[in-house]
Structure formats: structure tokens, C-alpha cells
């Protein structure tokens, strides 16, 4: 049976308040759940971006909580948001106005543009045209 898509994407950040401020205020994502010192979740179209504090998710679930297995990562992660060329130009302007450094802005050899920048936790964030992967 074919997989129909990605439902959620996970990044890790120790400072969840800074992550919430960035993803909610700078990127405009809607916060749907926050549990202090553990996670903050955002709606992104028909998908969800989950940001966990890696120190909390490496601990076994507390008695009475959902039986989600431990997980976590160290170091910078990566997320790429879909955007067309006009949206990328608008995002670049908005990010620069917010004082966010654009690390890279380029056209891929096979076509399509990407811009890269960092969130407060150091995760690599990208806006890219779907055609970089041959998608529409």
C-alpha cells in the first residue's frame, strides 16, 4: 500500500519558549499544543510540526501518560517548507525584516530556488520550490 504523505515532522529545541516565539511570530504557524518543558506543536497546512525538548523525550513515559517510545536527537535538524518563487521572495523579505540571517539563497541545477536560515535552536530551516524534487 503506498504512503500518502508525511503527517508530522519533528525538530528538537531545549528552549521551547524561543521556539514557540519563532515559529508562531516569525513563521506564522498556529500553536495547537504546548506542554512546558516537553513540547510545542504547530499546525502547518494539513501537517503538524512538532518541537520537543530532547532532554524530556529521552525519558521513559510517566505513569498514566501516553505510551510514546523515547526518542530524541542532538545537533541541528532540518525542515523544509514548500513555497513558490513569489512566496520565497516574500519570505526572504519578511525574515530579513525580522533580523533573521539568510544563510543561503540559490537556484538548484535541476531548477527551483531555496533559501536557508536558522531557528533559535540552530535547526536549519528552508523554503524551497517543490520542483527541486521534481514535484509540482
CA 19 to chain centre: 10
Quick: pLDDT tens for 12-63: 999 999 999 999 999 999 999 999 999 999 999 999 999 999 999 888 878 8
Per the confidence metrics, is the pTM higher than 0.75?
yes
pLDDT, position 49:
98
The CATH fold of domain 1-59: 2,3-Dihydroxybiphenyl 1,2-Dioxygenase; domain 1 (3.10.180)
User: Going edge to edge, which strands form the sheet with 30-35?
Assistant: 8-12, 47-52, 39-44, 30-35
Cβ-in-10-Å burial (0-12, 13-18, 19+) of 68 comes to exposed
> What local confidence, expressed as pLDDT, does residue 38 receive?
93
Q: Where are the alpha helices (DSSP H) in the chain?
A: 16-21, 54-57, 85-97
Q: Where are the domains of the chain?
A: 1-59, 76-136
pLDDT in tens, 59-111: 887 888 888 888 888 889 999 999 999 999 999 999 999 999 999 999 999 99
CATH superfamily of 76-136: 2,3-Dihydroxybiphenyl 1,2-Dioxygenase, domain 1 (3.10.180.10)
Amino acid at each position: 500500500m503506498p504512503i500518502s504523505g508525511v503527517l508530522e515532522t519533528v525538530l528538537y529545541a531545549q528552549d521551547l519558549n524561543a521556539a514557540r516565539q519563532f515559529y508562531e511570530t516569525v513563521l506564522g504557524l498556529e500553536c495547537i499544543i504546548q506542554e512546558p518543558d516537553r513540547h510545542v506543536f504547530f499546525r502547518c497546512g494539513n501537517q503538524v510540526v512538532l518541537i520537543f525538548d530532547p532532554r524530556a523525550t529521552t525519558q521513559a513515559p510517566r505513569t498514566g501518560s501516553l505510551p510514546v517510545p523515547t526518542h530524541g536527537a542532538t545537533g541541528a535538524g532540518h525542515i523544509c517548507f514548500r513555497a513558490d518563487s513569489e512566496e520565497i521572495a516574500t519570505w526572504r523579505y519578511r525574515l530579513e525584516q525580522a533580523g533573521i540571517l539568510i544563510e543561503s539563497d540559490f537556484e538548484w541545477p535541476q531548477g527551483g530556488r531555496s533559501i536557508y536560515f536558522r531557528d533559535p535552536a540552530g535547526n536549519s530551516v528552508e523554503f524551497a520550490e517543490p520542483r527541486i524534487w521534481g514535484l509540482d
